[in-house]
Amino acid sequence: MKSIPLPTERLLSRDSIAKRLAADLQPDWVVNLGIGMPTLTTKYVKAEQDIVFHSENGIIGMGPPPPADRQDDDLRDAGKNFCTLIPGAALVHHADSFSLARGGRLDCAILGAFQVAANGDLANWRLPGDPTGNIGGAMDIATGAKEVFAMMTHVNKNGESKLTEKLTYPATALSCVTRVFTDMAVISVTEDGYLLEETAPGISAEEVQFHTDAKLKVAANLRDIAA
């Protein structure tokens, strides 16, 4: 196969990935957000979606960041950023917060990823060569959520695909990721592996395949990611 350069000028911005992902959140879902890129999703969720955001530190019904004069050290999100409560929010302790996650009450978790495998295995807690890593709540949340949306760049800083046939990094949870949202594409994890459903405007299925270390099936109705 001839080499295809990464189409850097046509890659989606982080905000564009967040906007596309937000459109997939169903009304009244309870959604957990991982730290980093996933938190951008809140900017693009519409009021009529009425999403209930869960934060692992015991917040059910997390609202947007407060203005500077309303910041409270007792009210921060999983990434330690200031947050607020929506009307009708509830607060629980840590064990109950993770009971919610493992107990099947999380409709969706949006998590960053180092690697996703074609069978839905997720790696996001330790890079090879890092002696310790950081787990936080990721293992429990990825294990418990009904849907896990991985949100990430398509390739890493070395240009290597983050979508692989099998994980080569330590696993966070097995067969958990259901959809992958990258700066190149929207890809579902199916029983037959990856299904390419949408590409960033101006990026071809061939380009996405070249930068993916697993075979992609291409949806019959392949379309552009809505801007």
- Nearer to another protein by C-beta: 92 or 218? 92
Has 9 been annotated as catalytic? no
On whether the CB atoms of residues 146 and 108 are closer than 8 A, the answer is yes
**Residue written as token pair 């993770």:** 98
Considering the complex, what minimum distance in angstroms separates the CB of residue 181 from another protein? 23
Cβ closer to another protein: 23 or 91? 91
User: Which one, 46 or 102, has the nearer CB to another protein?
Assistant: 102
> What are the φ/ψ torsions at residue 69 (nearest 5 degrees)?
-85, 0
Q: How far is CA 26 from CA 91, 103, 147, in A?
A: 23, 20, 11
Give the list of residues 6+ apart from residue 76 with CB closer than 8 angstroms, or none: 57, 82, 83
Chain residues binding another protein by CB under 8 A are 55-59, 72-76, 80, 85, 91-95, 97-99, 101-102, 126, 131-141, 143-144, 170-174
| Contact indicator for 181, 160 with CB cutoff of 8 Å | no
| Closest distance to another protein from the beta carbon of 143 (Å) | 5
Query: How far is it, in rounded angstroms, from Cα 131 to Cα 142?
Result: 22
Our CB check for another protein shows the closer of 85 and 214 to be 85
Per the residue annotation, which of 48, 56, 160, 207 is the catalytic one? 56
Residue with tokens 């067969």: 175
Taking the complex as a whole, the smallest distance from the CB of residue 170 to another protein amounts, in Å, to 6
Burial (0-12, 13-18, 19+ Cβ within 10 Å), 177 = buried
- Least distance from another protein to the Cβ atom of residue 3, Å: 35
Residues annotated catalytic, as ranges: 56
